[in-house]
Chain A
Amino acid sequence: MRYENRQSPEGINVTEHNPVAHLLKLLAAAVVIIVLVVVLANLFASRLGRLIPFRYEQALMQHVTYDFSGAGSESVAMQEYLNTLVQRLSPLLEVPEDIELNLHHNPDGVFNAYATFGGNIVFYNGLLGQLPHENALAMVVAHEISHVLHRDPVAGLGGGLASMAALMALTGSTGAGAVGNLLNKTGMVAQMKFSRDMERAADRAALSAVNQLYGHVNGADELFKVLYQLSGATAEQETTFDAFMATHPLHQERIDAIAQWAAENGWSTAGEITPLPENYYDWL
């Protein structure tokens, strides 16, 4: 018997392939799948969420109390003023009878306002104190009411949960490594798109109401101008990258959108600014 080792050619156990092309192909396919699944899950769940009757939201929130007293400020006067604004805006926004809006004034310095389940809307002192006139405040109030009308809190929660679940099911096997991380981030970015769309829709509805209230939309974009200044960002700093990662559209984009909608609908952008009540800043 003769024993020898003959050399076998290369490339039998190792597949000849272009690794970079392979990576790009797989990456593109994975991103497309993730985005598609998140979008579908979100569409489905947010639509489903909006089908839930509003009174279920109210029932859910009836035991939640919004007690922000403790700062001891005259928040009652502020609350009343905000309520009159809501009453003036409600018919313009065509708020249905079954939707009940509850306004809350939080004396915290946080620069924020949000709408949540059961028609509850919270305004923070941080935001209220930065507004120079009533037109700006009306825009904010109308924006938050629009969120309630569009059922955005429940749609957002449903869509968010559904896309989370879809993402987890998809990327569960890839785990917490670089791949799982990347795919999850991609899913989040896709999810953010829905949040921004909701903001845009609320802005649009609010602008229309403000136009009806004052006969013009002058000053409606004031909030975003203030936000823009506060963020300290220059136009160069707000990059396309940030735009993809944010829950809200960029401030400049919202200002531009307001101007565009006004132009499209022939709403006047010049008009008399309505000042805030005399004691407004004392109520903060």
Chain B
Amino acid sequence: MFEIVSFLVLLVVGYAFGSLAERRHYRSIQKLEIEFNSIPAIASRYPPVDKAYQQQLVVGNVVIASDYFKSFLAGLVNFFGGAVVSYESLLDRARREALLRMKKQARAVGADYVFNIKYETTSVGSGRLASIEVLAYGTALTPSGISIPANPGS
């Protein structure tokens, strides 16, 4: 009896706090995406040759934990197989957040673009507690002549 009650409490708490955190995160992501839209992130390996650019590696990472509700739902889907839709938003948020953090570094070095964007996704949770890290990195292209500050992003 106690087991069932504590399980239901976890489920409800996980759902309430998890969806609250998700809504808040999406609002922040959407705001920052508009803000950083001036620095295009390009997946091409070939930098533009219109003018001279300095190159510099920029990175952004984030670790996001799933909530209890999402994890339980994912486990349930695992029983049947099929699309684990409850984790889609988790991964989406992490990828976009990591890219934004990368762009933040790029802005700090006065970059016009970030080229050759790469993503790395790793599950860092212990056991079946799903937490994922997404790393986004690329090469910031700063027009030559702008001096790069010593410690961007910090």
Binding site for B on A (CB under 8 A): 1, 3-5, 7, 10, 13-15, 17, 19-20, 22-23, 26-27, 29-30, 170-171, 173-175, 177-180, 182-183, 241
A26 vs B71: C-alpha distance when bound (angstroms): 14
Cβ contact of A179, chosen from B39, B69, B79, B83, cutoff 8 A: B79
Stretch of B58-66, B84-92, B144-152 on the interface side: B84-92
How many contacts A-B (CB < 8 Å)? 76
Chain A min CB distance to B150 (Å): 27
A5 vs B73: C-alpha distance when bound (angstroms): 34
Chain B min CB distance to A23 (Å): 5
User: In the complex, which residue of chain B has the Cβ closest to the Cβ of A242?
Assistant: B1
A108 vs B69: C-alpha distance when bound (angstroms): 49
Q: Chain A residues near B154 (CB, 8 Å)?
A: none
Cβ contact of B15, chosen from A3, A17, A20, A30, cutoff 8 A: A20
Cβ contact of B85, chosen from A4, A17, A182, cutoff 8 A: A17
Q: How large is the interface on B (under 10, 10 to 19, 20 to 34, 35 or more residues)?
A: 35 or more
Contact code string B39-57 (vs A, CB < 8 Å = 1, else 0):
1111000001010000000
Given contacts A14-B89, A177-B75, are A26 and B80 in contact (CB under 8 A)?
Answer: yes
In the assembled complex, B9 has its CB within 8 A of some CB on chain A: no
Chain B min CB distance to A14 (Å): 5
User: In the complex, which residue of chain A has the Cβ closest to the Cβ of B73?
Assistant: A23
| Contact assessment for B76 and A5 in the assembled complex, using a CB-CB cutoff below 8 Å | no
Chain A min CB distance to B99 (Å): 10
User: In the complex, which residue of chain A has the Cβ closest to the Cβ of B113?
Assistant: A3
| Contact assessment for A174 and B88 in the assembled complex, using a CB-CB cutoff below 8 Å | no
A64 vs B7: C-alpha distance when bound (angstroms): 44
Q: List 14 A-B residue pairs with CB atoms under 8 Å apart, sorted by A's residue number.
A: A3-B40, A3-B48, A4-B40, A5-B41, A13-B92, A14-B88, A22-B73, A22-B86, A23-B72, A26-B73, A170-B79, A171-B79, A173-B79, A179-B72
| Contact assessment for B76 and A175 in the assembled complex, using a CB-CB cutoff below 8 Å | no
Chain B min CB distance to A17 (Å): 5
| Contact assessment for B88 and A13 in the assembled complex, using a CB-CB cutoff below 8 Å | yes
A17 vs B88: C-alpha distance when bound (angstroms): 11
Chain B min CB distance to A10 (Å): 8
A183 vs B68: C-alpha distance when bound (angstroms): 17
Given contacts A14-B89, A177-B128, are A5 and B37 in contact (CB under 8 A)?
Answer: yes
Instruction: Please classify the interface of chain B as helix (H, G, I), strand (E, B), loop, or mixed, using the class held by over half of its residues.
Output: helix
Given contacts A14-B85, A22-B73, 5 further A-B contacts (CB under 8 A): A3-B42, A19-B86, A22-B86, A175-B128, A179-B72
User: In the complex, which residue of chain A has the Cβ closest to the Cβ of B127?
Assistant: A177
Q: Chain A residues near B50 (CB, 8 Å)?
A: 1
| Contact assessment for B69 and A23 in the assembled complex, using a CB-CB cutoff below 8 Å | yes
Q: Chain B residues near A29 (CB, 8 Å)?
A: 80
| Contact assessment for B7 and A182 in the assembled complex, using a CB-CB cutoff below 8 Å | yes
Q: Chain A residues near B113 (CB, 8 Å)?
A: 3
In the assembled complex, B28 has its CB within 8 A of some CB on chain A: no
Cβ contact of A174, chosen from B33, B68, B79, cutoff 8 A: B79
Chain A min CB distance to B103 (Å): 9
Q: Chain B residues near A179 (CB, 8 Å)?
A: 72, 75-76, 78-79
Chain B min CB distance to A21 (Å): 11
Chain A min CB distance to B50 (Å): 8
| Contact assessment for A23 and B83 in the assembled complex, using a CB-CB cutoff below 8 Å | no
Q: Chain A residues near B13 (CB, 8 Å)?
A: none
Which residue among B33, B48, B75 has the maximum number of chain A CB atoms within 10 Å of its CB?
B75
Chain A min CB distance to B6 (Å): 10
In the assembled complex, B77 has its CB within 8 A of some CB on chain A: yes
A170 vs B80: C-alpha distance when bound (angstroms): 10
Cβ contact of A5, chosen from B40, B77, B80, B85, cutoff 8 A: B40
